[in-house]
Structure 1
Amino acid sequence: MLATSSRICVVLALATLSSSASASPGVDPPAPVLPPIFVAPFQESMDYYIHTFHTKGVLYFDATSSSERMDREDGVADRYCGTARPFAGTFCSHLIVDSKRYLLFPQKDHGLGADSGYDCCFCCSAEDGCGVLRRDFLSNATFVGYETLNGTRAQHWREEGLQENDYWQTDDGQQRPLRLLQKPNDDMVFLGFSDAPIGPSVFELPKSCAEGRKCGGTCALVRRG
């Protein structure tokens, strides 16, 4: 998931990574800051010891409107989607608007859009640590070095938390996200990037969200009230 917390809740291990240097000469580059608006498709793997789950998705991020959306083709291994609908194995979206995080499940198909075709439940709010990801969520990260990721020169950063988080971004001044690894089991690789404006319909709440139904599972554990 990508939250106000200092990490994006998602993962994957499909990158070919080779180290080109253990540290940069001279002064380290500035800490990562996410672009204000971007869309990035990704592949994700989640390793739960006896089984590894794989899925694909798209991250929509717009800091200018404090909105964020993450679509997964299969949310069964996501700790929020997968516990709100245990073992369902269905498309799931995290949608954050107005400082509130919702989970969206399509009722009929895997199409996108804000309409009554979605089953919606309220997960948690920014007060619970469920708001939009901060652009500077890695402000305290340590620079590891320069590496080559799938043929792209990258900066490798690491931040210690409840678990070790490794993050790679492009070393071209644009700071495009390339990979997020939340050790030991969450690995997300970004497969593309666009900084074009995002249409407002992407962040529009489905009508079913007005019903006020609350999600169970992990959402209920982190939600206050």
Structure 2
Amino acid sequence: MQKYLLLALIVVVCQCQQAQQPLPPVWPNRFSQDFVETWNITNTIHRSVGTYFYDYTQGTTRLARSNGQYDPLCKSLHTDAQQCDQIIVNGERYIYYPDTQECCYCCGQNDGCGVLSPQWFIEPTFLGNVSYYGVPAYKWVIYEGPNEANPNYYIETTEEEPTQRQLLYLARSNYEQNYFLDSLRTDFGSIDLPQTCNRKSLCPGTCAKVRPAQSN
């Protein structure tokens, strides 16, 4: 009798744990949010600030960094400390340097450089409820490869509806982004490609490695 009671208790506990797991993350179709980014390069910490503009309805994004010299794509053309924007329009990713107004084509949709889907979280694993600087939050891990390779750690607020949650933290490999909770916006201008950007001006460096050989 005790054996059956124990089994029943285990089933109830498992069902409760499953019921408590939230729905996986889904981004709203349009938002922008400010962040502080930290890079760990050979055990030396480097920081920059930036803003992520995301508009899936128009198929555009703009990832603006105050200093892009540590980002693999931003430093394709310049390795000094200057502002760098990654702009995606029409499935094409461009690297733009506002200080000098230089721009080059990095890679395209077929190279994995297009706009992320709002449901880009492929089979995320829920790591539990956490406190993020005093804010109740959900923590997830998303693996980019088999055998739990290339984990992305993701923290968000705890609203029941996934599209109402706010991004708080994203980390992968040697960098992390901490997002400001009170900086979320849905009202911002259109994301347009600067006039100096064109498909014929190809970025070297990491961008060239991402593109097919026939494109270089």
State the 1:137 CA deviation. 1.3
- Would the aligned equivalents of 1:31 and 1:139 in 2 still touch at CA under 8 Å? no
**Match 1:61 to one of 54, 61, 65:** 54
Which one has the bigger helix percentage? 2
**Match 1:77 to one of 67, 70, 73:** 70
**Match 2:92 to one of 97, 100, 103:** 100
Deviations 1:124-182 (A, max 9, x none): 00110000112111131100000010121111001223412110011023121110011
- Rg: which structure is higher? 2
State the 1:211 CA deviation. 6.7
Equivalenced residues, count:
189
User: Runs (4+) of structure 1 moved beyond 6 Å?
Assistant: none
1:1-225 mapped onto 2 (5 Å cutoff): 25-27=17-19, 28-86=21-79, 88-108=80-100, 118-161=101-144, 162-173=149-160, 174-183=164-173, 185-192=174-181, 193-200=183-190, 203-210=191-198, 212-224=200-212, 225=215
State the 1:52 CA deviation. 1.7
Which residue of structure 2 lines up, in the alignment, with residue 4 of structure 1?
A: none
Distance 1:131 1:33, change over 3 A: same
Equivalent position SS for 1:218: helix
Deviations 1:23-42 (A, max 9, x none): x8442111100111111000
TM-score normalized with structure 1 length: 0.79
Q: What is the distance in 1 between the residues matched to 2:60 and 2:194?
A: 15
Equivalent position SS for 1:47: strand
Distance 1:191 1:199, change over 3 A: same
Equivalent position SS for 1:209: coil
- Would the aligned equivalents of 1:100 and 1:131 in 2 still touch at CA under 8 Å? yes
Which consecutive unaligned segments of at least 5 residues does structure 2 have? 1-15
State the 1:50 CA deviation. 3.7
Which consecutive unaligned segments of at least 5 residues does structure 1 have? 1-23, 109-117
Q: What is the distance in 1 between the residues matched to 2:120 and 2:165?
A: 13
State the 1:196 CA deviation. 2.2
Which residue identity lines up with residue 111 of structure 2 in the other structure? D
TM-score normalized with structure 2 length: 0.82
Which structure exhibits the higher relative contact order, with contacts defined as CA atoms closer than 8 Å and separated by 6 or more residues? Answer: 1
